[in-house]
Amino acid sequence: MTRAALVTIDFGKTDFAASQEEIALLATSAGAVPVVTLTGKRSRPDPALFIGSGKAEELKQAVIAEAVELVIFNHTLTPGQQRNLERVLEVRVIDRVSLILDIFALRAKSAEGKLQVELAQLQYLSTRLVRAWTHLERQKGGIGLRGPGETQLETDRRLLGERVKYLRERQRRLARQHGTQRRARERNRAFSVSLVGYTNAGKSTLFNTLTKAQAYAANQLFATLDTTSRRVYLGEAGNIVISDTVGFIRDLPHQLIAAFRATLEETAQADLLLHVVDASSAVREAQAVEVDAVLDEVGATRVPQIMVWNKIDAVPELQDRPAVERDEYGKISRVFISARSGQGLDALRGAIAEAVAGRVEHPRADASVMPSSDSTTDGQAESDQA
């Protein structure tokens, strides 16, 4: 376990306490042990050191006193700020983007997930090259690879560029494969439901409960990275396919959104989104806004959405509320559940069945098929690992 110092500066734009809690959970999810926490207030970042020279000196003394090995900033640092901080602190410094990328690398299990993470990391690191990529020479034979007069940094950039080009081509092939699988599902007439939401909102626990699957679920950020799908039978509603997807987070790195676009765009092809919200979070509304922003970026805002407020067993004031809330048009807008205790799950299944029935009456403009009504048993068949 790596001894780490966490740095969070209050710029007055987000819930500061929630931001501190989130970076601590991110750090522990990556395998770090926070032993130092540094906070402060600024109107804007310092151009050279982000936190200013005084705070940098204070941080340096804490790093020495607590034998800190890694300093984690809960912000995005410029390459210059990162280099200056490492020069002053004499330990490794990473920012929020790098930390999230590291967690994704730790969680990726499938070949596609690993490819997407590597592509995101290379795109991020391409702006921070400091003789870090010469090991890629070995993949092409080393000697004789460089052009005459080429500097070490130029070699690194060229090798990295070639690797990025290779990964993008593989990603394009996978995107075509996704399209083929999606058309096959459409021919099988399965109504598709995607679980989306902020990381650690309880999507995987809900997925396991609805499908009786054994997907990994834990009180960690980004416990789920690889998309998993299961076919489920919902009585009169017939068969549906439920997919568990990667969680979103505030300031999700653009490199990750770009690299995971093929995976995230699967949500835009769903018939229904279940937007899972952690009802016990003090910043649940802000988290829902962050999720909607990413959905908008991948073109999924037109997909019908039901808000699913999870973990109501931890919120006493929500215990006596009706399980289903409807809008002024009589459509279901929110369902209150506890995926862990099972409270409200029958109401959620009913809401999904109602959405299936609504699709039969008012099919999507781009849908050429209707949902299936085969007699597949609960949790049986189809398991797609993205």
Model pLDDT for residues 67-123, shown as the tens digit of each residue: 999 999 999 999 899 999 999 999 999 999 889 888 888 877 777 778 878 888 888
Q: Give the mean pLDDT of 152-171.
A: 79
**Quick one: average pLDDT of 335-343?**
93
User: Would you say residue 141 has pLDDT above 90?
Assistant: no
Contacts 24+ apart (CB under 8 A), 66-69: 66/3, 66/5, 66/35, 66/36, 67/3, 68/3, 68/4, 68/5, 68/35, 68/36, 69/2, 69/3, 69/4
Better-scored residue on pLDDT, 110 or 338 = 338
**Is there a binding annotation on residue 161?**
no
The 10s digit of each residue's pLDDT in 287-314 is 999 899 888 888 888 899 999 999 999 9
Q: Is 216 annotated as a binding residue?
A: no
As a whole-number percent, the residues of the chain with pLDDT over 90 amount to: 36
Q: Residue 218: how many CB atoms within 10 A of its CB?
A: 11
- 201 among annotated binding-site residues: yes
The Cα 238–Cα 231 span in angstroms is: 10
Q: What is the pLDDT of residue 338?
A: 94
Quick one: pLDDT at residue 255? 67
Q: What is the pLDDT of residue 182?
A: 65
CATH 3.40.50.300 placement within the chain:
189-385
Residue 247 assigned as binding residue? yes
Is 338 within any annotated ligand binding site?
Answer: yes
Q: 198: annotated binding-site residue?
A: yes
Tell me if 245 is assigned to a ligand binding site: yes
pLDDT of residue 362: 45
Counting residues of the chain whose pLDDT is more than 70, the rounded percentage is 77
Q: Per the annotation, does 300 bind a ligand? A: no
Domain with CATH 3.40.50.11060 in the chain: 2-94
Does residue 224 have a known ligand-binding role?
yes
Known binding residue 246? Answer is: yes
The tens digit of pLDDT for each residue in 21-39 reads 889 989 998 899 999 999 9
222 is an annotated ligand-binding site residue: yes
> Nearest-CA neighbor of 371 among 236, 176, 202?
236
The yes/no answer on whether domain 2-94 falls in CATH 2.40.10.10 is: no
What is the pLDDT averaged over residues 337-349?
Answer: 92
- 202 annotated as a binding-site residue: yes
Q: What is the CATH number of domain 189-385?
A: 3.40.50.300
